[in-house]
A and B are shown apart, each in its own frame.
Chain A
């Protein structure tokens, strides 16, 4: 069955530090991969997505993610975190074909220390 694992439930970093949020997926075919961010009490905003081509994708707010097929991973990175990045981050797999539903990971809550 398809699944998405975000191993880190909660991460705390200092403002200005680098960030990497991990995401591993299990899916037999070529996946569509997404990272969404949810600020407290807000909806989901797409940070970036991977469908094909260059395995390093750039997103909004200075985020990037790298697709590694051999590791079934799609980790999210940011070189310097800002206090406003504190939020819940969700990795998702979009199942190819049909009307593909999204399978979400459990989320990683990011706290940023000043």
Chain B
């Protein structure tokens, strides 16, 4: 199936640990995003990559480090996890050129920090 996929779907970990979330899209898109949805369901952009280059970096703690090994993948590594990092993280992708600006979202990764 063509889609945006994320692994893992659920992630439970202790404070202070380091964890990664992976995202892959097979839609042939060239721009990918990370969004965070907090406990009140509010969605906010974190990062965006275009052709493996970082183009959007909102005011996110530097404990969060995105990495894009290729156009189809955008991973999110989080160091020294804190309680406030508990949220659902959504990956999204979009075709930049000739596109209609629609972003396709992955199913989300629910991160719980204990």
A18 to B100, CA, bound (A): 29
Cβ contact within 8 Å between A104 and B42: yes
Q: Report chain B residues within 8 Å CB of A45.
A: 105
A32 to B100, CA, bound (A): 9
B66 sits at the interface (CB 8 A): no
Q: Report chain A residues within 8 Å CB of B92.
A: 102
Could you tell me which residues of chain A, from 33 to 76, have a CB within 8 Å of some CB in chain B? 34, 36, 38, 42-46, 49, 51
A88 sits at the interface (CB 8 A): yes
Q: Report chain B residues within 8 Å CB of A51.
A: 100-101
Q: Report chain B residues within 8 Å CB of A90.
A: 43
Cβ contact within 8 Å between A106 and B42: yes
Residue total for A at the interface (Cβ-Cβ under 8 A): 25
Main DSSP-derived SS at the A contact region: strand
Tell which of B40, B42, B56, B90 touches A101, judged by Cβ atoms closer than 8 Å: B56
Q: Report chain B residues within 8 Å CB of A84.
A: none
A98 to B97, CA, bound (A): 10
A1 to B100, CA, bound (A): 23
Cβ contact within 8 Å between A106 and B31: no
Which of A's residues lie within 8 Å of B, judged by CB? 32, 34, 36, 38, 42-46, 49, 51, 88, 90, 94, 96, 98-104, 106-107, 109
Which of B's residues lie within 8 Å of A, judged by CB? 31, 33, 35, 40-45, 48, 50, 55-56, 58, 90, 92, 94, 96, 100-108
4 A-B pairs besides A46-B102, A49-B102, A102-B33 with CB distance below 8 A are A34-B102, A99-B50, A100-B101, A101-B56
**Can you list 27 pairs linking A and B with CB atoms under 8 Å apart?**
A32-B101, A34-B102, A36-B105, A43-B105, A43-B107, A43-B108, A44-B90, A45-B105, A49-B100, A49-B102, A51-B101, A88-B41, A90-B43, A99-B50, A99-B94, A100-B101, A101-B56, A101-B58, A102-B33, A102-B35, A102-B43, A102-B45, A102-B103, A103-B45, A104-B43, A106-B40, A107-B41
